[in-house]
Amino acid sequence: DTIELRSFLELTLDRFEMLATDKNIIFNRKFSNKPIYVDIDQDKMTQVLDNIISNAMKYSPEGGTVRIRTLQQGENVRISIADQGMGIPRESQTKIFERFYRVDKARARSVGGTGLGLAIAKELVQAHGGHIWAQSEYGKGTTIFITLPYTVKEVKA
């Protein structure tokens, strides 16, 4: 389906906002003003975003801010989700996209999960012709980037 990215992201974040309040986490959203149309499978992309947002919340401290941005870059749109959590050591930053890989088993066990979320996210993003990667500073926070090709054509209302 061709959908407008901003409204899709807003709806997705709205669903998490209640959970975020429990941990005093603030979502700071900044999206490009121009409508961006992407051709995506909504269920699949929802699964991708749900995992990344829930990771950001799981690994964030109380009162942290999660920043969500979109940026147009040529024929792609780049979505970033940045948290102020514990971060990921450099040597693990590509491994987190492998099945069942979890940084620090003890730490991971206490927050729950199977270690499949990002492996699935990577598969789904690539199936959409996009890329996903992590940039992180250990102890300071993590940003997950996703790029997706976007369609220039406007959709009739």
List residues binding ligand ATP (CB under 6 A).
51, 55-56, 59, 83, 85-86, 88, 96, 101-103, 108, 113-119, 142
Residue 86 CB neighbour total at 10 angstroms:
18
83 vs 128 by CB, closer to ligand ATP: 83
CA-based nearest residue to 60, from 101, 16, 94, 90? 16
- Of the candidate spans 97-105, 113-121, 125-133, 148-156, the one that interacts with Mg ion by CB under 5 A turns out to be 113-121
**From the CB of residue 141, how many other CB atoms can be counted at a distance below 10 Å?**
23
Instruction: Give the binding range for Mg ion (CB under 5 A) out of 29-37, 54-62, 91-99, 138-146.
Output: 54-62
CB neighbours of residue 91 within 10 Å: 8
According to DSSP, the residues that pair with 66 across neighbouring strands are: 27
85 binds Mg ion (CB under 5 A): no
Q: Which residues does 128 contact at the CB level (< 8 Å), separation at least 6?
A: 39, 40, 41, 44, 45, 148, 149
Residue 59 carries which side chain, given as an amino acid letter?
Answer: Y
Q: Is 64 in the site for Mg ion (CB under 5 A)?
A: no
> Between residues 5 and 88, which has the closer beta carbon with respect to ligand ATP?
88
Among 20, 36, 55, 103, binds Mg ion (CB under 5 A): 55
Nearer to ligand ATP, 74 or 139 (CB): 139
Min CB(60)–ligand ATP separation in Å? 7
Alpha-carbon distance values, 62 to 25, 116, 121 (Å): 6, 25, 26
Return residues touching Mg ion (CB under 5 A).
51, 55, 113, 117
